[in-house]
Amino acid sequence: MDGLRAKMSSLTPFTKKHKVTVIGSGNWGSTIAKLVAENTAEHPELFERDVQMWVYEEEVQLDKKSKHYDESSELSKGPQNLTKLINTFHENVKYLPGIALPYNVIANPSLTDAVKNSSVLIFNLPHQFILNLCKQLRGHILPFARGISCIKGVNVHEASISLFSETIGEELGIYCGALSGANIANEVAQEKFSETTIAYDPPPMDSQAPTPATSQGSSPVSSHVDLTKLVHKDVSGRPSKVTLRPLPSEYYPFDHVTIKKLFHRKYFHVRVVSDVAGVSLGGALKNIVAVAAGWVDGLGWGDNAKAAVMRVGLLEMREFGNRFFPNTVHPDTFTVESAGVADLITTCSGGRNHKCAMLSIREGKSIEEIEARELNGQKLQGALTAVEVHTFLKSLGMEKDFPLFTAVYNILKGNEKAEKLPDLIDNNEATDTSASKPTQSSSLPIPPQSTSSTNPEQQTVAGTQPHCPTTSPLGDNERQSNTTTSRSPLEPAPPLASSRYNRQLLLPQLRLRGQERLLNSKVLIIGLGGLGSPASLYLAGAGVGTLGLMDGDTVELGNLHRQIAHTESAAREGLSKVRSAAARCKALNSEIRYVLHEERASADNILGAIAQYNVVLDCTDNPATRYLISDACVLLGKVLVSGAAQRGEGMLVVLNSPPSPLSADGGQGGQDKGPCYRCVFPRPPPPEMVRGCSEIGILGPVVGLIGTMMAGEAIKIIAAGGHLPPSPTTTPEAEAEAEAERLNNGSSLSSPASSQTDQMRKPAQKQHQHTMLLYNTYAADPRGMFRTIGLRGRRKDCLACGDDDALAQKGLSRITADTISQGRLDYQAFCGVFEDVNLLDDERRVGAKEFLETLTTPSENPTENDLEREEQKRIVIDVREEHEYELGTKVAGSINMPISRILRLGGGAFDELGLGADAERRGPMGNESHVRTTPPKAINGHDDGPGRVDSSHSGMNTPLLANGLDGHRETQSHGPPPAVYFVCERGNDSQIAAQKLMDQLAGDSAASQRWGWVGDVKGGFVAIKKWSQSSSPSS
């Protein structure tokens, strides 16, 4: 290895040395600065000699017991800046007294100056300050800097877990590893022997020289590799949210060898691994176990009892990592490395968590009381982590799978007594995924395999069905019978055959293989309204292994007619749709894993969310989000099932199928590659045509039907293996199996399973036609309720999934992950924003307040004739559609003339009002409508003939109906002509209608003299209702 590195160095000389900065100067930060500075001095070929140590500036009084105290010295007279004392005495007199720091440790009170031009940043500060510190660092560090976090623990939220190292990386746009181990700062500073573990998974774009094997695989060293296009993966095994800048080739590679040279000392042994999640989890979860160990010692149960608690705790730590970070956590991290078992032993033998728990038992006081007395205002990490972990596990329904962690929580909260700890552990002891007994992170047969296996079906999926009692479909009995001399002639039925999924297993298109794929699949539903509700329930019932639920809205009572996953109680409580749907799904199937994303899909979160899943269901209701989701699925190679429904119509289509992420050669390849959303809809609909269900309505069964069919498509795709990327090589045996499966499974809207086999057997044959399904519940002919239309397939010039060559010919470039995550593509602007109409001048518009005052200004001591004359001074024409007018708030005496009729007939729509000079005198087609006193009337769009009145309203007797509008004008011949107010919902359609009337009057001078002011009400009924509620006018 060293020889190869030397050879590489001779070919590409390293002209820059790494500058190191330690951020934080507590006892552990100062200790790290000490040993790092010793190593930078010993390796001048790799590092700059001086190590910057950022110090949070504070004034410190030099202790009289300090060897540096001198009454005659100015530094001993009163408080002094800590940085000045450190740089003068080369000792951190406050946080690490008595320990000499190397002369090349430079204390610096300026954070931005300390990190200037540093390529290596070592973070060592209280975790509560991370976010604020990162904000200060943005724009002041090298964009390609690399970090090591020495902050023990993890951020555990109710629905997610994040590592401090990844928080730092995401906030600063850099890669950051983690350091943890059995390290007591004072002992390390005193150069007493200890060891630690550093987790660092070198980003592939940094590979200037070979490094030890990592979870990312071998590092490319070819000079022909475009390092800027390499994608680093996070601790969950998915593409990182951060677009990393490659470490320039002028620097010595910051790999495992370099890291060891930076940290390793004779008294401080370092092991470098790639398991960042495992190292970080070990440093956090061991504190929970230490609390339990403290109770054991407080009760005087002895070392045997404490060893038992530590054993169970170690298993739960290991299981926690395997379950929630299955793609990157290595079990050996907990049992072999210092960050695991060694740190656990140290913490359970001493330290603040163990001490406080022990004293709470011996003194009969609560943990909080001991904490307040012993920790000088600091919080006990074991107690905090226990609460956070329990909240997280409970949200997933998994608290029983971690009995020790749950027991510690219940004892801390007073729900149980510490004396019952053995019983609490024994009731439901944790399992180990590495053993033969399966758990939730391994519910289906996972044959022995090498870590280089690329078959997605052979990889463990976290959180799938936990109660399958065997490790093979044929059961333990058959495995055991193979090893005996007398074998039963009967083979037991597979466990799944008698499971809750038995009825769907009977389908030849599903069978055992299909159910196993379902149990190992991960499906994300974005949008939990009318489409997402039935889809989530049916997918939960079908047994998908992990069901992700994403939405940022809360449950509303007015939506329950179609959003059947939610309840009235959820609406009353204002529960989020995600939590409401998760509760209903868990009540249906508690044996699968649920992941909650309580946020709207956005450019900031979409890539990270979708990367965790195999199949995505787009159940959203606006074009901008649909394009965003589709683009992300294309980039990440995920199958997308998209549906939509409005009024009585619905649509369903499967996109990006079969899945294949963008290739390095600038395309997705394969003529049978299915289209994406942009291929089908290259241009979004005009924004004025996009109207929500709250405006145009929706029939509940329609959206329910589409959502149910979306779940059906997802199940078909997964059962047939259509969610898996095509294999680059296919053996004859696999080909035969795929052909047999195709014959059994039938086809879906995308036929992903069959297309691979057909393409191999008959390359020249035309591939399956991709289709879109349309539904109309009000189709004139029931045979036309369902229609299927063919789609053209992938467009080579598509901005999302097209080929680079085809796009380059048009001067276009393809959408990338950076395009999305960095906000370079404004999806709202692309889809357009519906802007308010601005047709009328200000003098032709009145505000809602002025309009209401006009309606509610009576004469003094009015008579019946006065009231009639007041009403006749104005005419209010409501241009909302008939059904909207019927259901909405109305102005008493208004006339309903739908905007659709006005747009269709133009100025002729007003002929019914008798506009012409020689117009025939007749009443309007419909009657006026009075709020709360009379049924609604409308001039509708039917061919009823002029002047026809709905017989159901013929009994009404109003001035306008009795005399007609011409008669109305005649009664006003001695007064000013009436004003005409047009009104709609928001003040847009009313302007169009008013302009149409003015255009009509402009061509007929005689008619124009018989009408007064014509205009509209700004803001429509939205503004009217607002002012009405604020002023409570009488009507």
Strand partners, 526: 550, 618
**Cis status, amide bond into 456, omega within 30 of 0:** no
State CA 520 to chain mean position distance: 21
Q: How many CB atoms lie within 10 A of CB 241?
A: 17
3-state secondary structure of 752: helix
Residues 6+ apart with CB under 8 A from 17: 44, 45, 46, 47, 48, 251, 252
| Dihedral, CA of residue 661, residue 667, residue 668 and residue 669, to nearest 10 | -150
The question of whether 286 is a catalytic residue gets the answer yes
The Cα–Cα gap between 476 and 493 comes to 11
State the DSSP code for 576. B
The Cα–Cα gap between 4 and 918 comes to 102
Longest dimension (CA), the chain: 117
Q: How many CB atoms lie within 10 A of CB 799?
A: 22
Whether 75 contacts 84, CB under 8 Å: yes
Residues 6+ apart with CB under 8 A from 506: none
The Cα–Cα gap between 597 and 157 comes to 12
**Strands across the sheet with 979-983, in order?**
845-846, 1014-1017, 979-983, 874-878, 895-896
Whether 1004 contacts 916, CB under 8 Å: yes
State CA 408 to chain mean position distance: 31
Query: Position 204: which residue type?
Result: P
The Cα–Cα gap between 161 and 612 comes to 14
Cα-based angle 628, 629, 630 (whole degrees, multiple of 5): 95
The DSSP H or E segment spanning 856 is: none
Contacts of range 446-452, beta carbons closer than 8 Å, 24 or more positions apart: 446/471, 452/217
Residue 736 has φ and ψ, to the nearest 5°, of -65, -40
The Cα–Cα gap between 488 and 557 comes to 60
The tokens describing 295, both together, are: 């109770």
DSSP 539-558: HHHHT-SEEEEE---B--GG
State CA 108 to chain mean position distance: 39
DSSP 711-737: HHHHHHHHHTTTTSPPPS---HHHHHH
Query: Position 937: which residue type?
Result: K
Q: Which residue has the tokens 């992990």?
A: 546
CA distances from 85 to 9, 61, 255 (A): 41, 10, 35
The Cα–Cα gap between 329 and 462 comes to 12
The tokens describing 653, both together, are: 């289509």
Strand partners, 616: 524, 640
Query: Position 956: which residue type?
Result: M
Whether 748 contacts 716, CB under 8 Å: yes
Cα-based angle 763, 764, 767 (whole degrees, multiple of 5): 80
The Cα–Cα gap between 1029 and 334 comes to 64
Which of 19, 152, 286, 673 is labelled catalytic? 286
The catalytic site residues sit at 286
